[in-house]
Amino acid sequence: MFELHPQLQSDTAFIADWALSRVLLMDDARFPWLILVPRRESLQELHDLTGKDGELLVKEVMRASRSLKSLVRADKINVGALGNLVPQLHVHVVARKLDDVAWPHPIWGCGTPVPYENSVRDVLIEGLRDKL
Amino acid sequence: MFELHPQLQSDTAFIADWALSRVLLMDDARFPWLILVPRRESLQELHDLTGKDGELLVKEVMRASRSLKSLVRADKINVGALGNLVPQLHVHVVARKLDDVAWPHPIWGCGTPVPYENSVRDVLIEGLRDKL
Could you give the domains of chain B? Answer: 6-131 (3.30.428.10)
The pTM (predicted TM-score) of the whole model is 0.97
Question: Cα dist. A96→A34, A72, A102, B7, B8 in Å?
Answer: 12, 9, 9, 21, 22
Q: Packing angle between helix B51-71 and helix B118-131, nearest 10 degrees? A: 120
Give the closest-approach CA distance of A67 to chain B in angstroms: 10
Say if the Cβ atoms of A46 and B79 lie within 8 Å: yes
Phi, psi of A27 (to 5 degrees): -85, 70
Contacting A residues, span 4-43, partner chain B, CB-CB under 8 Å: none
Inform me whether the pLDDT recorded for B74 exceeds 90.
Answer: yes
Give the closest-approach CA distance of A119 to chain B in angstroms: 31
Chain B residue numbers touching A66 (CB-CB < 8 A): 45, 47
Give the closest-approach CA distance of A102 to chain B in angstroms: 11
Q: What is the pLDDT of residues B6-43, one digit of tens each?
A: 999 999 999 999 999 999 999 999 999 999 999 999 99
pLDDT band at B65 (very low <50, low <70, confident <90, very high): very high
Share of residues in chain A with pLDDT > 70 (%): 100
Say if the Cβ atoms of B82 and A84 lie within 8 Å: no
Using the Cβ of B50 and the Cβ atoms of chain A, whether some distance falls under 8 Å is answered with: no
- Rounded Cα distance, B28 and B4, in Å: 19
Chain B residue numbers touching A57 (CB-CB < 8 A): 58
Partnered with residue B92 across adjacent β-strands are B35, B80
- Rounded Cα distance, B37 and B65, in Å: 14
Query: Among all residues of chain B, which has the CA nearest to that of A107?
Result: B106
- Judged by DSSP in three states, B122 sits in helix
Q: What is the pLDDT of residue A109?
A: 87
Q: What is the pLDDT of residue B109?
A: 87
Q: What is the pLDDT of residue B106?
A: 96
Partnered with residue A14 across adjacent β-strands are A24
- Distant-in-sequence, close-in-space partners of B66: CB < 8 Å, separation ≥ 6: A45, A47
Chain A residue numbers touching B96 (CB-CB < 8 A): 84
Say if the Cβ atoms of A77 and B47 lie within 8 Å: yes
Share of residues in chain B with pLDDT > 70 (%): 100
Say if the Cβ atoms of B62 and A46 lie within 8 Å: yes
Q: DSSP secondary-structure letter at B19?
A: S
pLDDT tens for chain A, residues 1 to 132: 999 999 999 999 999 999 999 999 999 999 999 999 999 999 999 999 999 999 999 999 999 999 999 999 999 999 999 999 999 999 999 999 999 999 999 999 899 999 999 999 999 999 999 999
Using the Cβ of A57 and the Cβ atoms of chain B, whether some distance falls under 8 Å is answered with: yes
- Judged by DSSP in three states, B104 sits in coil
Question: Cα dist. A62→A36, A131, B66 in Å?
Answer: 11, 14, 22
* Span between the terminal Cα atoms of chain A, in Å: 26
Q: What is the pLDDT of residues A73-110, one digit of tens each?
A: 999 999 999 999 999 999 999 999 999 999 999 999 89
B89-105 mean pLDDT: 97
B66-83 mean pLDDT: 97
Chain A residue numbers touching B81 (CB-CB < 8 A): 78-80
Q: DSSP secondary-structure letter at A75?
A: S
